[in-house]
Amino acid sequence: EVQLLESGGGLVQPGGSLRLSCAASGFTFSNVDMSWVRQAPGKGLEWLSTISGRDGSAAYADSVRGRFTISRDNSKNTLFLQMSSLRAEDTAVYYCAKTVASDAWGQGTLVTVSS
């Protein structure tokens, strides 16, 4: 069974940083592209970033490029999202998702950016 478990969310001040993790199991993690998607309160889904399982290359949404960095540790089956220069509008539930087609999702972790 595919399982994705995010962690690392919390309350952070504007301008601060946070690192999210997503522990994966139930599939061959190293072979699979992985994504981060967020959902602001009461809003729809917003894709943020995808990292290739093949070569580690990454793509980013304009809204986070230069502030967020996606990475992975295939030896630990873990996906990361390093977030910096956080803004109030980054407040959201952050999900990791398996493949570009998002065929499995974690339960999400809430990030609140507020002073």
Binding site for another protein (CB under 8 A): 35, 44-47, 50, 59, 61-62, 95, 100-108
Which of 23/61 has CB closer to another protein?
A: 61
Which of 55/62 has CB closer to another protein?
A: 62
* Shortest reach from residue 35's CB to another protein, in Å: 7
* Shortest reach from residue 40's CB to another protein, in Å: 13
The encoded tokens of residue 34 equal: 């992985």
3-state secondary structure the chain: CCEEEEECCEEECCCCCEEEEEEEECCCHHHCCEEEEEECCCCCEEEEEEECCCCCCEEECCCCECCEEEEEECCCCEEEEEECCCCHHHCEEEEEEECCCCCEECCCEEEEECC
* Shortest reach from residue 19's CB to another protein, in Å: 20
Which of 5/71 has CB closer to another protein?
A: 5
Which of 14/54 has CB closer to another protein?
A: 54
